[in-house]
Copies of this chain bind each other. A is one copy, B any other.
Amino acid sequence: MKTRLIPALIFFLFISTASISQNAAQDSTMLKKLYTTALSDGKAYDWLDYLSNQIGGRLSGSFEAERAVKYTEAELKELGLDKVWLQPVMVPKWTRGFKEYAYIESPSGEKTVTNILALGGSVPTPNLGIKAEVVEVHNFEELASLGRQKIEGKIVFFNRPMQPDLIHTGHAYGGASNQRYSGAAEATKYGAIGVLVRSLSLKNDSAPHTGAMSYGDTPESKRIPAAAISTKDADYLSGLLKLEPQLQFYFKQNCKIWDDVLSYNVIGEITGTTYPDKYMVVGGHLDSWDVGDGAHDDGAGVTQSMEVLRLFKKLNYKPKHSIRVVLFMNEENGLRGGLKYAEEAKRKNETHVFALESDSGGFTPRGFSLETDDANLAQIRSWAPLFEPYLIHLFDEGYSGADIRPMKGNINVLAGLQPDSQRYFDIHHSANDTFEQINKRELELGAATMASLMYLMDTYGAK
């Protein structure tokens, strides 16, 4: 038996090794084609130029957001996909208004004008604005320890900087963002009349950065206005407070919360040849903040995702699974698009095996952040050598993407593209998130990296 087994084993090993190396060679050729096409004949950059410069900032419920829906739907139809459609979703509508204005007033009456941006979702100030003394705090514990006696009637100034010594700037963002998201709700508990937040940026400049905030369960009548000031102004205000604790801060903003309005996720599909009923999703979010033009957040992810399907069509690759590009609406201030897509997938009993999101800027890709089990993690990590020529080296376990996470529990693998993170928060949610900050090659490398993972997931399937 033994002697007969050995030749069989050798034969088996031979076949298996041969087929592995044949597959590896095929995969390597396909990745090369994807990267070469994206870099020498890509479309993402032109799409992003249009989205950024001809449409611009596209907050949910705005005219620009609706133009972005129509534009991307039309462009997807041009690609000759099997299906392109709009998925209706009700989204919140918040508008900034046009009267943001602020200054620091010294006890002797000297005024220093300061840039502010109302936080997304904030209530307006009264028409004439508010003016009050400022209490600087760095976290909610410090706020609580000061208590109502020190806070009542004041403006609370949250000034905890992002930690500069963290290598992933996303971790530094995560460590500082509760001030912006929940600062107003917390400060209200102690009778504050307004909130200022240090911008979530690692750059020392004069640009304020907006972003979503929530009043939690604060009753409507008790909600206080909240605005961001720049890192430079935050340092200035903090220094001045040490000299003149009695100084006052004035700000005025006439933002408004409207009734929800109808909008859409934009979806395109190449129907699978072998498993038409198993879905793989690639996407980003179509909405952006109203300041800047949303080129990095998340015009980049939108156009990279569209490029994945364009590359497949261009290279005449016919996927086994049905591959969908989903351009999610309302990530920034509601996540309604992501929630709606997951809800509809569940309602229709659609089997989703893989979703990949790009929502960390259009910078040089470094790898992926994965939410999955050990078997899938091992399979994906086994592809690392294929990615090496493209300097893709991160296959980390971690947060994938806001829009695809609502599918968690009903999907095998969630992945987020990990671009180089150093420059992202310098521009994120500010007037500096513009097309000029995009490097064409970096954007294209990201698209090719996404297409490569999608190709491999389609070829080998999820575990």
Say whether, besides A366-B391, A394-B391, A39 and B422 are in contact (CB < 8 Å): no
Q: Which of B164, B202, B364 contacts A364 (CB 8 A)?
A: B364
State in angstroms the CA–CA spacing of A445 and B166 once bound together. 11
Say whether, besides A202-B441, A203-B440, A441-B202, A389 and B422 are in contact (CB < 8 Å): no
Cβ–Cβ < 8 Å partners of A145 in chain B: none
Cβ–Cβ < 8 Å partners of A426 in chain B: 439
The minimal Cβ–Cβ distance linking A149 to chain B, given in whole angstroms, is 34
Q: Assess whether A165 is in contact with B442, with CB atoms less than 8 Å apart.
A: no
In the complex, whether A77 has a CB less than 8 A from a CB of chain B is no
In the complex, whether A1 has a CB less than 8 A from a CB of chain B is no
Cβ–Cβ < 8 Å partners of A391 in chain B: 167, 366, 393-394
Q: Which of B35, B165, B393 contacts A393 (CB 8 A)?
A: B393
Q: Which chain B residue lies CB-closest to A203?
A: B440
In the complex, whether A40 has a CB less than 8 A from a CB of chain B is yes
Q: Assess whether A164 is in contact with B366, with CB atoms less than 8 Å apart.
A: no
A residues 398-453 touching B (CB-CB < 8 Å): 420, 422-423, 426, 439-442, 445
In the complex, whether A140 has a CB less than 8 A from a CB of chain B is no
A residues 39-68 touching B (CB-CB < 8 Å): 39-40
The minimal Cβ–Cβ distance linking A344 to chain B, given in whole angstroms, is 38
17 A-B pairs besides A40-B165, A423-B439 with CB distance below 8 A are A35-B167, A39-B164, A39-B165, A40-B164, A164-B441, A167-B390, A169-B441, A202-B441, A364-B364, A364-B422, A366-B391, A391-B393, A391-B394, A393-B393, A422-B442, A423-B442, A426-B439
Residues of A within 8 A of B (CB): 35-36, 39-40, 164-165, 167, 169, 202-203, 364, 366, 389-391, 393-394, 420, 422-423, 426, 439-442, 445
The minimal Cβ–Cβ distance linking A458 to chain B, given in whole angstroms, is 23
Cβ–Cβ < 8 Å partners of A390 in chain B: 167
State in angstroms the CA–CA spacing of A159 and B426 once bound together. 37
Interchain residue pairs with CB less than 8 A apart (8): A36-B165, A40-B164, A203-B440, A364-B364, A393-B393, A422-B441, A422-B442, A422-B445
For A164, A423, A445, which residue has the most chain B Cβ atoms within 10 angstroms? A164
Q: Which chain B residue lies CB-closest to A366?
A: B391
Q: Which of B39, B202, B420, B440 contacts A420 (CB 8 A)?
A: B420
Cβ–Cβ < 8 Å partners of A422 in chain B: 364, 439, 441-442, 445
The minimal Cβ–Cβ distance linking A352 to chain B, given in whole angstroms, is 31
Cβ–Cβ < 8 Å partners of A441 in chain B: 164, 169, 202, 422
The minimal Cβ–Cβ distance linking A416 to chain B, given in whole angstroms, is 16
Cβ–Cβ < 8 Å partners of A364 in chain B: 364, 420, 422
State in angstroms the CA–CA spacing of A169 and B203 once bound together. 27
Cβ–Cβ < 8 Å partners of A440 in chain B: 203
State in angstroms the CA–CA spacing of A420 and B393 once bound together. 13
Cβ–Cβ < 8 Å partners of A165 in chain B: 35-36, 39-40
State in angstroms the CA–CA spacing of A440 and B231 once bound together. 15
The minimal Cβ–Cβ distance linking A386 to chain B, given in whole angstroms, is 13
For A35, A391, A423, A440, which residue has the most chain B Cβ atoms within 10 angstroms? A391
State in angstroms the CA–CA spacing of A35 and B389 once bound together. 27
State in angstroms the CA–CA spacing of A426 and B39 once bound together. 15
State in angstroms the CA–CA spacing of A366 and B165 once bound together. 17
State in angstroms the CA–CA spacing of A166 and B74 once bound together. 32
Q: Which chain B residue lies CB-closest to A169?
A: B441
Cβ–Cβ < 8 Å partners of A167 in chain B: 35, 389-391, 445
State in angstroms the CA–CA spacing of A258 and B270 once bound together. 65
Cβ–Cβ < 8 Å partners of A393 in chain B: 391, 393
State in angstroms the CA–CA spacing of A389 and B394 once bound together. 11
Cβ–Cβ < 8 Å partners of A420 in chain B: 364, 420
State in angstroms the CA–CA spacing of A36 and B163 once bound together. 10
Cβ–Cβ < 8 Å partners of A445 in chain B: 167, 422
Q: Which chain B residue lies CB-closest to A35?
A: B165
State in angstroms the CA–CA spacing of A423 and B394 once bound together. 21
Query: Which 10 A-B pairs rank lowest in CB-CB distance, beginning with the nearest?
Result: A36-B165, A393-B393, A40-B164, A39-B165, A422-B441, A39-B164, A40-B165, A422-B442, A364-B420, A423-B439
